[in-house]
Structure 1
Amino acid sequence: MAGRKTSKETKESASPSTAAAEEKPTIVVNEKERKKQAFIVRTIWTLVMIFGMFFIICAGHFWTIMLVLVLQVLVFKELISITSERAKNQDLKYTGYLNWYLLITTIAYLEGKSLITYTIDFLIDSNYFSVLAMKFIIHQKFVSYCSYVFAFVFFVSTLKKGYLKFQFAQLCITHMILLLVIFQGHCIVNNILHGMIWFLLPVGLVITNDIFAYICGITFGRTQLISISPKKTVEGFIGAWICTTFASVVLTYYLCNYNYFICPIENYNDLQVNCLTGVSCEPNPVFIHQIYKIPADVAKIIGKEYVQIKPIYLHATILSLFASLIAPFGGFFASGLKRAFKIKDFGDTIPGHGGVTDRMDCQFLMGSFSYLYYETFISTHHLNIGNLLQTIVINLSGPDILILVKSLHTYLFKIGMISEDVYGQLVELLN
């Protein structure tokens, strides 16, 4: 019939654009190409992180500490975001603010001692110094505790019927994150103050172990290590242990030959040094060659009764043992957490790598162990001007400090450090 078009005629009369759209093939994503692009992005950002970290370390201790603090905040943000998602949907608007308030209070409490130790001499000399600021710093722990009590009262006052179980669970999760992230991050900050080597060596050992666990795993891996991380193998675990032990000696050999890495931070001025300004100090005994007697049976074999070696190599080997056998469980813990919340990564802060937590999961555990190991087996606890000044300012009143100054002037006069005329002028000024 003339008024009716066949299906063939209808197709022929369709517009060219429609026909082209119908003929356009479906785009199929090439899996090989996708993996290639992901590898390129991951490699680029790996290089960015490596060179960025070296740049910050060379910039000085202060900027390295700032880096650690920023990483703590980012990890806290990622962990809180995945655990408090329900609060956004249930009209619990104060939960997020309370979490961040507790973070600030915890950092202030933990880092306040460092603030006092390394800035008190600067505050005394500063033209902008005020009694109020000094009082705040001196009573920092009390102020921080009062701030925490305020958060506790606020939490109780915002409890809502029907959400009690969730709110208490959220409070527990927040405190657990503060313990695992902020407290251990505080230990890492102290490692930097003890000397850059106590920060770089543990970090380098964890990175080395992670790299060689992957290489040995894909090369020799056959036996699954732990169920929550199916890609981790026993062969990769053992291979990484061996390689990390060797790397600990190499890293230590390089780092312990530079004062910039082994000198501790003792006062505010030391925080301003960088790799170009130069720094000097009396090295810790672990960086000085010591003579050790070799067991008789071994001495007969090698023909030597004594060996001369720096103790730091032994300590580095012990750190590598922890980095290889214990620190990876921080990663396994993170893997279990991701499975519990059914997520692939903790975030997308670092392209190709996921979140900051995905890269830092082992570092916090390693940092806290390194700090406690240093304090137990290495620290010499020397008295320095910063600690002495802190003790005087915090524990003595104004009149007591005046008596101390007069006594010091008298002592300096008696040992001949100041002349009689100068001593008389000082006595006249202080009376």
Structure 2
Amino acid sequence: MSTRNRRGVKFTSLKPTINGSGTGNIRRESTPSDPSDPNSPLVDLDENDPAYQDWVDGDKDPVVPANDAPVATTEYEKKKQNFVVRTIWTLVMIAFFFILLFSGHLYLVAVVTAVQIITFKEVIAISSVPAKEKNMHFTKALNWYFLVTTIYYLYGESVIYYFKHIVLVDAFLLPMASHHRFISFMLYMLGFVFFVGSLRRGHYRFQFTQFAWTHMALYLVVVQAHFTINNIFEGLIWFFLPTSMIITNDIWAYICGISFGRTQLIKLSPKKTVEGFVGAWICTMIYGLAVARILVPYKYFICPVRNLGANIWTGLECTPNPVFSPHTYTLPLPLQPILGDTFTSAPIYFHVLLMATFASLIAPFGGFFASGLKRTFKIKDFGDTIPGHGGITDRMDCQFIMGFFSNLYYQSFIAANKAVTVGGVLQSVIGNLSPQEQVEVVLGLQKYLAGQGLVGQEIVQCWNDVLKSQ
């Protein structure tokens, strides 16, 4: 029987051994977590056993014989230890998450940026070929160059959009903001020229594969995570709700799955069940409604940020989005005899139900996509950054697509579109009027404010004297 060698697996012996039943088995090292672990117990697998082929193909872990008590005990202890480590680090991450949430928007943006970079590094690493990269010095450098260029473009767009009132009045930042897209394009083209110039005969396939893989990673990781940062700027509730929904949905899917799961959901993840999938959906909707009810009264969570120095102690002030204000709705005629003619609720709760539905029914397919990718490259995890959890990518595979959806949903159905904003006025005045016309706007605005009693006449006179002296 021919088999495919599994990359990274160490064989202790390929000679048949005789076990207690007198059958010849192939004796190999294996554990449920890492088939190549040299400290793992030896498990007897018959070549004719379907479980043997599943293990070679990387589809399943080998089944420990019931009569092998020492091995079974060792496996139980390893699973128990892994569960303890996983639980401890889960609690650590939750505590760290809330500390960041209360520390302010700037810290959250910094952590999301770090997650972007580490995830990009992990995704790029699984396709690398070290032997070839040693001969091409520009390969890794270009990967990181394209990452920096993409981050510069995306973050610049966000800063200009949300902080016009700061950027457009700064003499140094104004030219960079005015030509931001052109600068970003030229930076990208510089990397493109270097890539073409670095092409070497005999390595074309590898180099173009790396180029395509890098751009795929930039889109699936960096671009999607960028929308998560925009969610932070729009209000912490739009960051916290989607993120925590993904986390709790995963937990409820596990609990519901082990409690009454029977029907397999998808072959990529054999342990996922339809019952766990649906049960987690219901629980996530309940969780979303409860958390929204807690957060809505606090302006720190519902106000867009215009000052990156804000935190839970300084708070935020704004006119709340109408989505947070109660509205009265008329019920359909068939329901009126039972529930009454009308009911009052804030629209946010209807939006939460839709977001919870996406987090439960669509976002998990980001995780299934990552599972398929790992099977393609025959790896268990993207990395080992988080003990017991694998790499950052293993925890973020659903978060990126959820953050992307949340921002698009917010901009499409929730955002209060203002025809005129302070930043928009500044952008129009600075970009379209001459310096003399800008001065006239300032003087006219000062006269209006003085007439309304908002500023003193002495301020207007002072400005007139200063301008006349120029």
TM-score range normalised by the length of the shorter chain: 0.7 to 0.9
The answer on whether the counterparts of 1:87 and 1:95 sit within 8 Å (CA) in structure 2 is: no
Moved more, 38-47 or 80-89: 80-89
What SS does structure 1 have at the residue aligned with 2:416?
A: coil
Tell me what 1:242 maps to. Answer: 282
Query: What's the counterpart of residue 301 of structure 2?
Result: 261
What TM-score do you get using the length of structure 1 for normalisation? 0.87
Say if 2:444 is the partner of 1:407. Answer: yes
How many Å apart are 1:276 and its aligned residue?
1.7
Check 1:211–1:421 CA distance in 2 against 1; reply closer, same or farther (3 A cut): closer
Which residue of structure 2 lines up, in the alignment, with residue 183 of structure 1?
223
3-state SS, counterpart of residue 271 of structure 1: coil
Please tell me whether residue 291 in structure 1 is matched to residue 335 in structure 2. no
Give secondary structure in 2 for the equivalent of 1:353. Answer: coil
Map of 1:209 onto structure 2: 249
SS of structure 1 residue aligned to 2:344: strand
2:318 to 263, 281, 296: 281
Contact 1:117 1:387 (8 Å CA) reproduced? no
What's the counterpart of residue 320 of structure 1? 356
- Residue from 134, 153, 156 that aligns with 1:112: 156
- Residue 61 of structure 1 is matched in structure 2 by 105
2:421 corresponds in structure 1 to 384
Question: Which structure 2 residues correspond to residues 23-422 of structure 1 after superposition, within 5 A?
Answer: 30-86=74-130, 88-89=132-133, 91-117=135-161, 121-122=165-166, 131-265=171-305, 267=306, 270-302=307-339, 304-382=340-418, 383-418=420-455, 420-422=457-459
* Per-residue deviation, 1:395: 4.5
1:77-131 CA deviation, whole Å, 9 max, x = no partner?
1001111235655512211111111111111111102323555655688xxx6x4
More displaced 10-residue stretch of structure 1: 77-86 or 187-196? 77-86
Deviations 1:159-201 (CA, angstroms, capped at 9, x unpaired)? 1111112211211111111111111111111111111000011
Amino acid of the residue matched to residue 440 of structure 2? I
**Maintained 8 Å contact 1:117/1:390:** no
Distance 1:230 1:395 in 2: 60
CA distance in 2, matches of 1:398, 1:168: 50
Which whole-Å CA distance do the structure 2 matches of 1:376 and 1:67 have between them?
A: 27
Quote the offset at 1:230 in angstroms.
Answer: 1.4
Separation of aligned partners in 2, 1:88 and 1:151:
20
Distance 1:294 1:349, change over 3 A: same
Q: Once structures 1 and 2 are overlaid, which stretch shifts more, 215-224 or 200-209?
A: 215-224
CA, structure 1 residues 194+124, in 2 after alignment: closer, same or farther (shift >3 Å)? closer
Shift of 1:387: 4.0
Whole-Å separation in 2 of the counterparts to 1:89 and 1:113: 33
Measure how far apart 1:33 and its partner are.
1.2
Q: Give the C-alpha shift of residue 396 in structure 1.
A: 4.2
- Aligned counterparts of 1:218 and 1:285: Cα–Cα separation in 2: 41
* Cα distance between partner residues in 1 of 2:341 and 2:144: 60
- Bigger-Rg structure (1/2): 1
Q: Is the 8 A contact 1:223 1:234 kept in 2?
A: yes
Shift of 1:385: 2.6
Q: Secondary structure at the match of 1:174?
A: helix
* Residue range with higher mean Cα deviation, 108-117 or 255-264: 108-117
1:206–1:324 contact (8 Å) kept in structure 2: yes
Name which of structure 1's ranges 213-222 and 88-97 shifts more when overlaid on structure 2: 88-97
Cα distance in 2 for partners of 1:299, 1:187 equals 41
Contact 2:167 2:177 (C-alpha < 8 Å) held by counterparts: no
Query: CA offset at residue 402 of structure 1?
Result: 2.0
Q: Letter of the aligned partner of 1:381 in structure 2?
A: N
**Structure 2 residue identity aligned to 1:374:** Y
* Fraction of identical pairs, as percent: 49
Displacement of 1:272 in angstroms is 1.1
- Are the equivalent residues in 2 in contact too, given 1:196–1:262 (CA < 8 A)? yes
Bigger CA drift: 134-143 or 230-239? 134-143
Aligned to 1:9: none
User: Is contact 1:75-1:357 (8 Å) kept?
Assistant: yes
> Are residues 329 and 425 of structure 1, via their aligned partners in 2, closer, same or farther at CA, if it must alter by over 3 Å?
same
Give the whole-Å Cα distance in 2 for the aligned partners of 1:289 and 1:323.
Answer: 25
Separation in 2 of the partners of 1:224 and 1:421? 77
Q: Contact 1:116–1:390 at 8 Å: present in 2 too?
A: no
Measure how far apart 1:232 and its partner are. 1.2
Letter in 2 for 1:31: E
Q: Is the 8 A contact 2:324 2:348 kept in 1?
A: yes
CA gap of 1:361–1:401, structure 2 versus 1, over 3 A, is same
Following the alignment from structure 2 to structure 1, what is the Cα–Cα distance between the partners of residues 428 and 155? Answer: 17
User: For residues 460 and 174 of structure 2, what CA distance do their matches in structure 1 show?
Assistant: 30
Instruction: Answer 1 or 2: higher relative contact order, Cα 8 Å, separation at least 6.
Output: 1
The 10-residue stretch of structure 1 (169-178 or 382-391) with the greater mean CA deviation from structure 2: 382-391
Residues 292 and 49 (structure 1 numbering): CA distance in 2 closer, same or farther, change over 3 Å?
Answer: same
Distance in 1 separating the partners of 2:454 and 2:301:
35
The number of equivalent residue pairs is 398
Question: Relative to structure 1, is the Cα distance of residues 248 and 417 closer, same or farther in structure 2, using a 3 angstrom cutoff?
Answer: closer
> 3-state SS of the aligned residue for 1:342?
coil
Distance, in Å, in 2 between the alignment partners of 1:413 and 1:345 is 65
Q: Residues 215-235 of structure 1: CA distance to partner in whole angstroms, max 9, x if unpaired?
A: 111222222211111111111
Which amino acid is the alignment partner of residue 76 of structure 1?
F
- Partner AA of 2:342 in structure 1: Y
Q: Which runs of 4+ in 1 moved over 6 A?
A: 26-29
The equivalent residue for 1:428 is 465
How far apart are the structure 1 equivalents of 2:457 and 2:74?
A: 89
More helix by share: 1
Where 1:74 maps in the other structure, the secondary structure is helix
From the superposition, tell whether residues 142 and 400 of structure 1 become closer, same or farther in structure 2 (CA, over 3 Å).
Answer: farther
